[in-house]
Amino acid sequence: MILKKKFNEMTNEELFSEYKITGDLNIKNELVLRYVYIVKNVAIQMRGVYSEFTQVDDIVNEGVLALMSSIDKFDMDKNVKFESYISKRIRGIVIDIARKNDWVPRSVRKAAKDIDKATNSLFVELGRMPTDEEIAKYLNIPVEKYYDDLGKTNLMNVLSFEMLLEEAGNGRHNNQIINPNMETMPEYHLDNLELEREIKLGLESLREREKLVVSLHYVHDLNMKEIAAVLGVSEPRISQIHSNALRKLRLFLQE
């Protein structure tokens, strides 16, 4: 009880300093409890990347182990917040797990490549993001076939977007950069302003329903089932819209 009272009166930075000096496991356990929410948040935000081959709890368990290790390795003298440091570690773990699970068939990769190529060509020609109907027409396939192909590339699109943000954003807690109210974001005053501007422009290029799905998922933290209930459509359709939005954002950023 005395230890708990003492910990409650200490900031995270003070606890880190004390742990680096003493190596007290009670302090380490307190730090784990204070930061485990980050592990859970990242695991939930990235569930679209790994939902086909593992569970949220498995990612959280891996993340807690990484959190415990990170507390020991974290260098307080570097000008990096621990929150950013551990977020990068957890995101890296998820991406590594996805890479190791070779879950994308060759036919799906080809479909994704064809859709990307069509979208890029039409974007240059039209000066805006093309509609689904325009992409299907360009590919010379029915819209239903286009939606079917798009559905198969859902997971690939989500992972590709996460990997792009991981590389371009230098490992920041990237779900936060989709917040449309950019001026309120802690990252706004850091070095990645150009990336944030480009993402904001990319969001503006999306169709209204795509922007709404992205906002509900990343800003309001609703899952696909909850978004489907809000919009009154099927969950697979929401997954398609979400995947399509991330694909367009990725292509926009790459351009």
CATH number at residue 192: 1.20.140
Residues 32 and 80 in one domain: yes
The C-alpha atoms of residue 238 and residue 48 are separated, in whole angstroms, by 12
The C-alpha atoms of residue 109 and residue 153 are separated, in whole angstroms, by 8
pTM, rounded to two decimals: 0.54
**Interior CA angle at 236 toward 244 and 241, to 5°?**
20
DSSP 218: I
Q: Domain end: 66, 100, 134, which one?
A: 100
pLDDT per position in the chain (255 positions), as tens?
A: 445 557 788 888 899 989 989 999 999 999 999 999 999 988 887 776 777 678 888 899 999 999 999 999 888 887 778 888 888 888 888 878 877 776 667 788 888 889 989 998 998 898 888 888 999 999 999 998 988 888 777 767 777 777 676 665 544 444 443 443 433 434 433 445 666 777 788 888 888 999 998 888 877 777 788 889 999 988 888 888 888 888 888 888 776
Helix (H) or strand (E) holding 192: none
**Closest residue by Cα to residue 216 from 203, 230, 205, 199:** 230
Helix (H) or strand (E) holding 149: helix 143-152
Q: Domain end: 46, 75, 100, which one?
A: 100
Q: Is the dihedral of CA 34, 40, 41, 43 positive or negative?
A: positive
Structure token digits, residue 187: 């990252």
The C-alpha atoms of residue 255 and residue 252 are separated, in whole angstroms, by 5
Q: Domain end: 42, 72, 100, which one?
A: 100
User: What's the number of domains the chain is made of?
Assistant: 2
**Closest residue by Cα to residue 16 from 24, 226, 223, 133:** 24
Structural domain for 123, as ranges? 106-254
